[in-house]
Amino acid sequence: MKALFIIMMISNVIWAKDIQDSSKRAIASMKQSIRTVQARELLGKHYSKSDVSSFEFKKSLEKNIHNYVSKHLPKEYVKKSRAISQAIIDESFRNELDPYFLMAVIEGESSFNPMASGPVGELGLMQIRETTGKWMAELIRMKWSGKKMLKDPIVNIKLGARYLRWLREKFDGHAQLYLAAYNMGPGNVKDALSRNKWPKDYPRHVMKRYLNYYEKMRNDLEASLIQNVDTLSTLHQDMDLISL
């Protein structure tokens, strides 16, 4: 009877682990799908020949994100780097964005400085104005206690990612327009369009950073593969010497 109980306990543990592993794989697959959908939206006909497409079936890039954020935050925020990078990952997933796209916006807005401030009251990692912050906080049902909240990097990411989602929906997924709107406001974008002018500078800078992330990942991957081949070659040579 005792042996049967132990077997049942072990079976339950294995079953629970299988469910947990299956759940993790499903979430990773969903994140990959979300990332790919926005990447195709951002790059259009250029997607298939981009470095981004080479990572289409890579389900987890989270380690790379954690490493990058840790290296680019100010020293006083390094201890919080894991939480900040995880917020980028989680809020990207929640708002159906590629986390590297969100990182590209953050780097352009504040160079990953949570204490950055702009000339017209923009604050934090994603340079959010108080009025926008309060509005987004209401949308996600977050208690608003004033602009000081925008200096919290986690809160800033939550609000900024939600604003990008709102803009993306407003401009029907047209990347150039919703990116421009994040910088100059949706009203100014519509005004520019009414004069047959398409804002280009800000979207171009964000997309350059976005593509640079994937280019660096490809280069790092290729360097790692070359190193592995060299290691195997050296190992084979050592084995040949031993056999002699």
pLDDT tens column, 120-139: 999 999 999 999 999 999 99
Using one digit for the tens of pLDDT, what is the confidence trace for 181-218?
Answer: 999 999 999 999 999 999 999 999 999 999 999 999 99
CATH of residue 57 = 1.10.530.10
**pLDDT exceeds cutoff 50 at 20:** no
- Under a CB-based contact definition with an 8 Å cutoff, are residues 175 and 41 in contact? yes
Domain that holds residue 112: 2-243
**pLDDT exceeds cutoff 90 at 53:** yes
Rounded to 10°, the helix 2-43/99-110 angle is: 60
Nearest to 91 by CA among 140, 130, 129: 140
Q: Determine the pLDDT at residue 18.
A: 47
Tokens read off for 77: 């925020």
Sorting pLDDT into bands at 50, 70 and 90, what band is 19?
Answer: very low
Instruction: Quote the number of domains for the chain.
Output: 1
The mean pLDDT of 160-166, rounded to a whole number, is 98
